[in-house]
């Protein structure tokens, strides 16, 4: 927009609102106090109008009333039930097409424009996405009942030294796999060996027979608990699954918002979830090539 039309638009807006938005001198333009007070609300209106346009686009594209959504396989059945009920309340006119997809599968579908919203595990490549708040599902440790650390209420990671770790296969989520091992190392636990396995029976077998340990959220523990396997908090809660709802950049609309809200509420309601922890210090090394 050229300078004169912009000035005219601002003057018209000031007349309409009945307040001055900018102080103008011959050289400078500065925003007024009144203008600053209106700014946050104006931005919000712009975001809302973008959401309206996104919804309109979906209707135009013939996808009216359908939300293609995904959840990772590790969300509990109770959480899914709660979220489906809540979503139906919030967005009665929208049909929810819900898929069980890993984070990698969700990213592929986002890239192809075949998914509207999903719950992803971090770390993941967020290019082209926007994300909701990070939710943290604390991980505790599974130990054989006679492990010395089973006597503690909060187990320091370093107390696991000397024991093998059973972890999901690295190829399933290499970034998360490496991040967990780095956090273990940072907190004084470098497993003697990492043994890859996924199924509850395999993990139980290794814990019982070879005194290996495994990490797990509390909410996935069987009730009643296994008589010989104990779940314990980790001291300082260093490990967690980090989730957030994600959607394609610029494609947020009422249905996406409703799904994001329903997922967040359901996870809060049925799982041991907390908001993300404060960010730790970050020391950039010279090879980083950037600096703030």
Partner 1 sequence: MTRTQDHIRTAFADAAVTGWLHACDIDTGAEVGLHPDHPVVTASVHKLCLLVALHQRAEQGDFDLTEQIEVPPTGRTFGLTGLGAMLDPARVSLRDAAYLMMSVSDNIAADLLLERVGLDAVNRTTTQLGLAHTLAVHTFRQLLDTIKKDAGPSGTRALSDPHTITRLTALDPARTNRSTPRDMTRLLSCIWRDEAGTPDHGAAIRRLLGLQVWPHRLASGFPFDDVHVAGKTGSLPTLRNEVGVVEYPDGGRYAVAVFTRAANTAATLPAADAVIGTAARIAVDALRAPRTRRRSGT
**Tokens (6 digits) for 166:** 């059973």
C-alpha 212/C-alpha 217 separation (Å) is 17
C-alpha 272/C-alpha 135 separation (Å) is 10
136: enclosing H helix or E strand: strand 135-144
- Contacts with partner 1: how many residues (CB under 8 A)? 32
Residues 132-171 contacting partner 1, CB under 8 A: 134, 171
Q: In the chain, where does DSSP find H-type helix?
A: 3-17, 33-60, 77-90, 103-111, 174-186, 200-210, 254-270
- Judged by CB under 8 A, does residue 286 bind partner 1? yes
- Judged by CB under 8 A, does residue 282 bind partner 1? yes
What's the closest the beta carbon of residue 44 comes to partner 1, in angstroms?
17
What's the closest the beta carbon of residue 289 comes to partner 1, in angstroms?
4
Start-to-end Cα distance in the chain? 33
C-alpha 149/C-alpha 159 separation (Å) is 7
Q: Which is nearer to partner 1, 4 or 278 (CB)?
A: 278
Binding segment for partner 1 (CB under 8 A), chosen from 10-18, 130-138, 194-202, 229-237, is 130-138
Q: Which is nearer to partner 1, 33 or 285 (CB)?
A: 285
- Judged by CB under 8 A, does residue 5 bind partner 1? no
Binder among 123, 200, 205, 238 for partner 1 (CB under 8 A): 123
- Judged by CB under 8 A, does residue 175 bind partner 1? yes
Binding mask 239-268 for partner 1 (x = CB under 8 A): -----x----x-------------------
Strand partners, 213: 165
Give the CA dihedral 159, 209, 201, 196, nearest 10 degrees.
Answer: 60
C-alpha 239/C-alpha 203 separation (Å) is 18
Binding mask 82-121 for partner 1 (x = CB under 8 A): ----------------------------------------
Which spans of this chain sit near partner 1 (rule: CB under 8 A)? Answer: 122-127, 129-131, 134, 171, 174-175, 178-179, 182, 244, 249, 279-292
């Amino acid at each position: 927009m050229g300078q004169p039309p912009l000035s005219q638009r601002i003057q018209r807006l000031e007349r309409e609102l009945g307040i001055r938005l900018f102080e103008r001198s011959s050289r400078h333009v500065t925003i007024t106090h009144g203008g600053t007070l209106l700014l946050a609300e104006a931005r919000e209106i712009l975001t809302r109008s973008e959401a309206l346009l996104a919804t309109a686009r979906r209707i135009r594209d013939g996808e009216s009333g359908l939300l293609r959504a995904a959840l990772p396989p590790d969300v509990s059945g109770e959480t899914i039930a709660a979220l489906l009920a809540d979503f139906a309340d919030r967005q009665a006119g929208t049909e929810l097409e819900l898929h069980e997809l890993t984070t990698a599968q969700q990213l592929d579908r986002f890239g192809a424009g075949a998914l509207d919203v999903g719950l992803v595990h971090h770390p993941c490549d967020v290019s082209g996405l926007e994300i909701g708040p990070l939710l943290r599902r604390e991980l505790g440790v599974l130990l054989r009942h006679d492990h010395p650390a089973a006597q503690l209420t909060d187990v320091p990671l370093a107390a696991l030294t000397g024991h093998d770790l059973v972890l999901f296969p690295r190829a399933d989520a290499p970034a998360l796999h490496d991040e967990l091992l780095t956090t273990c190392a940072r907190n004084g636990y470098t497993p003697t060996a990492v043994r890859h396995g996924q199924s509850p029976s395999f993990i139980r077998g290794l814990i019982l027979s070879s005194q290996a340990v495994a990490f797990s959220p509390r909410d996935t523990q069987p009730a009643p608990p296994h008589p010989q396997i104990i779940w314990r908090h980790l001291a300082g809660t260093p490990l967690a699954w980090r989730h957030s709802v994600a959607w394609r950049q610029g494609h947020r609309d009422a249905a996406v918002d409703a799904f994001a809200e329903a997922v967040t509420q359901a996870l809060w309601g049925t799982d041991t979830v907390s908001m993300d922890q404060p960010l730790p210090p970050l020391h950039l090394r010279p090879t980083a090539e950037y600096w703030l």
